[in-house]
Chains A and B, each alone.
Chain A
Amino acid sequence: MKFTEEHEWLDVDDEGIVTVGITAHAAEQLGDVVFVELPEVGTEVSKDDEIVVIESVKAASDILAPLDGEIVEVNDAIVDEPGKVNEDPEGDAWFFKMKVEDLSALDDYMDEKAYKDFIGD
Chain B
Amino acid sequence: MAEDNLKSTVLNALHRELGARMVPFAGYDMPVQYGLGVLKEHLHCRDHAGLFDVSHMGQVILRGPDVALALESLVPVDVAGLAEGRQRYAFFTNDAGGIEDDLMIANRGDHLFVVVNAACKDADLARMKTVLEPRGVSVEMLEDRALLALQGPEAEAVLAALAPDVAEMRFMDVATVMIEGVEVWVSRSGYTGEDGFEISVPETAAEALARRLLADARVEFIGLGARDSLRLEGGLCLYGHDIDTGTTPVEARLTWAIQKVRRAGGAREGGFPGAERILAELETGAARARVGLSPEGRAPMREGVPLFAAETGGDPVGQITSGGFGPSVNAPVAMGYVPTDLSATGTRLWGEVRGKRLPVKVAALPFLPAGFKR
Contacts and interface: CB of A to CB of B under 8 A. Distances in A.
A60 B300 contact: yes
A76 interface: no
A83 B325 CA distance: 12
A39 interface: no
B302 A57 contact: no
A35 B325 contact: yes
A79 B298 CA distance: 9
Interface string B218-238: 000000010001000000000
B97 interface: no
A54 to B, nearest CB: 11
B33 interface: yes
Contacts of B299: 35, 37, 53, 55
A35 B302 CA distance: 13
A67 to B, nearest CB: 23
Interface string A15-38: 000000000000000011011010
B225 A55 contact: no
Given A34-B325, A58-B225, A53 B354 contact: yes
Contacts of B229: 57
Contacts of A37: 299
A73 to B, nearest CB: 21
B324 interface: yes
A32 B324 CA distance: 12
Interface residues of B, number: 16
Chain A contact patch, size range? 10 to 19
A40 to B, nearest CB: 14
Contact of A35 (B33, B38, B39, B298): B298
B26 to A, nearest CB: 17
Nearest to A58: B225
A32 B37 contact: yes
B230 to A, nearest CB: 12
B38 A57 contact: yes
Contacts of B300: 34-35, 55, 60
Interface string A41-67: 000000000000101011110000000
Contacts of A34: 39, 298, 300, 325, 332
A58 B38 contact: yes
Given A57-B324, A60-B302, A31 B354 contact: no
Contact of B225 (A53, A57, A82): A57
A57 B40 CA distance: 11
Nearest to B326: A34
Contacts of A59: 302
Contacts of B325: 34-35, 55, 57
A37 B298 CA distance: 9
A118 B107 CA distance: 57
Given A31-B225, A34-B325, A57 B39 contact: yes
B302 A31 contact: no
A43 to B, nearest CB: 16
Contacts of A31: 33, 37-39, 225
Contacts of B37: 31-32, 57, 86
Interface string B1-42: 000000000000000000000000000000001000111100
Contacts of A79: 298
Nearest to A55: B300
Interface string B226-254: 00010000000000000000000000000
Contacts of A35: 298-300, 325, 332
Contacts of A32: 37-40
Interface of A: 31-32, 34-35, 37, 53, 55, 57-60, 79, 82-83, 86
26 contacts: A31-B33, A31-B37, A31-B38, A31-B39, A32-B37, A32-B38, A34-B39, A34-B298, A34-B325, A35-B298, A35-B300, A35-B325, A35-B332, A37-B299, A53-B354, A55-B299, A55-B300, A55-B325, A57-B38, A57-B39, A57-B324, A57-B325, A57-B327, A58-B38, A60-B302, A79-B298
Q: Which 4 A-B pairs have the closest CB atoms?
A: A32-B39, A34-B325, A57-B38, A35-B298
Interface of B: 33, 37-40, 225, 229, 298-300, 302, 324-325, 327, 332, 354
Given A31-B39, A57-B38, A60-B354, 4 more contacts: A35-B300, A60-B300, A60-B302, A79-B298
